[in-house]
Amino acid sequence: MSDFSDELTRPVAKAVRVETSMLSGTGMYIPWLRKEMETVETGGKQEKDFAKTTNACLDLIQEALLKHQWQKAAEYMHSYLQILEDSDTSKRQAAPEIIWRLGSEILYYHPKSNVETFSTFADRMKNIGVMNYLKISLQHALYLLHHGMLEDANRNLSQAETWRYGEKSSSQEILINLIQAYKGLLQYYTWSQKKMELSKLDEEDYAYSTATQNMLNHSCKTSVNLGALIQIPGVWDPFVKSYVEMLEFYGDQDGAREVLTNYAYDEKFPSNPNAHIYLYNFLKREKAPKEKLISVLKILYQIVPSHKLMLEFHRILRNSEKEEHRKLGLEVLFAVLDFAGCTKNITAWKYLAKYLKQTLMGSHLAWVQEQWHSRRNWWPTFHFSYFWAKSDWTEDKALACEKALVAGMLLGKGCRYFRYISKQGHQALKKKIKRMNKSVKRYSIVNPGL
């Protein structure tokens, strides 16, 4: 999840990586393939040896692929190709896609293969049956991108974009949109390179104006390409981001806001945390009112309570004037620390210690008890065991102190974690521990006297 905020920097490369891993991930579509093969029925007739051997051949190809025996897979592939001549129409029609997927996998990894072989194969497969043309074109383009051949990829996409075959099915339509969007993404890449050049130029320079003009041309085409796809429900993170970046650059804040709001709030779109993150970041840049930011993050909190933006969310809530928000602020902190990945997050612990103290001082004991109630059973072993006390102390003393303070407040002075840490007579931390002791004495929700 944390990667997403870095995405702005290298969106194109990111998109390529995601997609090509789909193309190349060894185990990814093999289970699917098998399912496909099983649905092709023999229709009650006795299966011919031709069908038996080609099925066996397919199994052997898959096995070879799983074991990364590309050479062997290619050998079997040579025989498997005859399925394109199967007299069984349904099998023959399903064959091109299977062959494309297996074949592209082999050619992607085979030591003797190169871009040229791959392209020849792709070009041949595109024209076997009409249904696969767009899919293969797109994957072919992604392969080229992966090999850094941006121009070829672009040419490929342009070619695919103009392809028409009678009545396109709805699935093909979305593919065309996707192809256009990828083309847009490539244009964005050139645009952002230009932007970089521009930033090096002096505004007074006469080259500056031509460069801006150039960029503007690019952005127009790109907007058209990207805009269409974004309207269709789906997860389009890299496309949305590049689009918004361009809109913002040309000052179309309203347009950008509209795109992002739509992307985050349209119910037809699948639930996507990134949509809310983008919107939040945009609103923050825009210096939108707190209330608005809170409402965006509230949704993110519901989808991903462990997201690192939650600490920022806590900060906003903590300073809110509304009591309801301040209560939520406590809840958010507790929720973050419910996740194993956040147990060593010192900021979260620091916030919690500080905020617990603050809440208790503000005599909102009920809030704390409400949160603590459901965690009473498992937090002590999850966070505050003797083992953790020891290991936290050796690894990170500051963290241990924060945790000890929280433990003391929640479990009382007698708790193991607190006792262990407070007994460690560390010189530098003496003062801190003393303060900690005092706080615990004063604020612990467990009454030590009883």
Q: Does 128 bind other proteins (CB under 8 A)?
A: yes
Query: Closest separation between CB of residue 262 and other proteins, Å?
Result: 45
Q: Does 164 bind other proteins (CB under 8 A)?
A: no
CA angle 171, 256, 242 (to 5 degrees): 60
Residue with tokens 């969007």: 181
Q: Does 370 bind other proteins (CB under 8 A)?
A: no
Query: Closest separation between CB of residue 35 and other proteins, Å?
Result: 21
107 or 179: whose CB is closer to other proteins? 107
Q: Does 78 bind other proteins (CB under 8 A)?
A: yes
- Cα(103)–Cα(122) distance, integer angstroms: 9
**Which range, of 28-36, 108-116, 181-189, 228-236, touches other proteins by CB under 8 A?**
108-116
Size of site (CB under 8 A) for other proteins: 35
Query: Closest separation between CB of residue 146 and other proteins, Å?
Result: 20
Q: Which of 15, 29, 91, 121 binds other proteins (CB under 8 A)?
A: 121
**Amino acid at position 443, single letter:** Y
| b/e per residue 325-345 (b: at least 16 CB within 10 A) | bbbbbbbbbbbbbbeeebbeb
Give the relative orientation of helices 206-231 and 237-249 as an angle to the nearest 10 degrees.
140
**Which range, of 114-122, 176-184, 235-243, 367-375, touches other proteins by CB under 8 A?**
114-122
- Cα(93)–Cα(128) distance, integer angstroms: 9
76 or 379: whose CB is closer to other proteins? 76
Q: Does 103 bind other proteins (CB under 8 A)?
A: yes
- Mention every residue, 6+ apart, whose C-beta is less than 8 A from residue 181: 225, 226, 228, 229, 230, 236, 239
Residue with tokens 């069984």: 88
Q: Does 106 bind other proteins (CB under 8 A)?
A: yes
Q: Which of 21, 26, 42, 117 binds other proteins (CB under 8 A)?
A: 117
Q: Does 203 bind other proteins (CB under 8 A)?
A: no
- Cα(437)–Cα(431) distance, integer angstroms: 10
Q: Does 141 bind other proteins (CB under 8 A)?
A: no
Q: Does 290 bind other proteins (CB under 8 A)?
A: no
Q: Which of 33, 81, 115, 235 binds other proteins (CB under 8 A)?
A: 81
Q: Where are the alpha helices (DSSP H) in 115-205?
A: 115-126, 133-146, 150-161, 170-200
Contact 373, 402 (CB under 8 A): no
User: By rule CB under 8 A, what string of x and - marks binding of each residue 21-60 to other proteins?
Assistant: ---------------------------xxxx-xx-xx-xx
Q: Which of 26, 10, 16 is nearest to 139 (CA)?
A: 16
Q: Does 295 bind other proteins (CB under 8 A)?
A: no
121 or 418: whose CB is closer to other proteins? 121
Q: Does 76 bind other proteins (CB under 8 A)?
A: yes
Q: Which of 2, 9, 39, 87 binds other proteins (CB under 8 A)?
A: 87
51 or 401: whose CB is closer to other proteins? 51
Query: Closest separation between CB of residue 87 and other proteins, Å?
Result: 8
- Mention every residue, 6+ apart, whose C-beta is less than 8 A from residue 315: 351
Q: Which of 10, 17, 124, 308 binds other proteins (CB under 8 A)?
A: 124
Query: Closest separation between CB of residue 52 and other proteins, Å?
Result: 8
Residue with tokens 């208790």: 360
Q: Which long-range contacts (CB under 8 A, 24 or more apart) does 441-446 make?
A: 441/413, 443/356, 443/357, 443/360, 443/361, 443/409, 444/408, 444/409, 444/410, 444/411, 444/412, 444/413, 445/360, 445/365, 445/368, 445/369, 445/372, 445/409, 445/410, 446/410, 446/411, 446/412
76 or 418: whose CB is closer to other proteins? 76
127 or 213: whose CB is closer to other proteins? 127
48 or 430: whose CB is closer to other proteins? 48
- Mention every residue, 6+ apart, whose C-beta is less than 8 A from residue 145: 16, 20, 153, 186
Query: Closest separation between CB of residue 384 and other proteins, Å?
Result: 57
Q: Which of 42, 120, 169, 193 binds other proteins (CB under 8 A)?
A: 120
Q: Does 85 bind other proteins (CB under 8 A)?
A: yes
Q: Which of 84, 235, 311, 346 binds other proteins (CB under 8 A)?
A: 84
- Mention every residue, 6+ apart, whose C-beta is less than 8 A from residue 146: 16, 20
Point out which residues bind other proteins (CB under 8 A): 48-51, 53-54, 56-57, 59-60, 70-71, 74-79, 81-82, 84-85, 87, 99, 103, 106-107, 110, 112-113, 117, 120-121, 124, 128
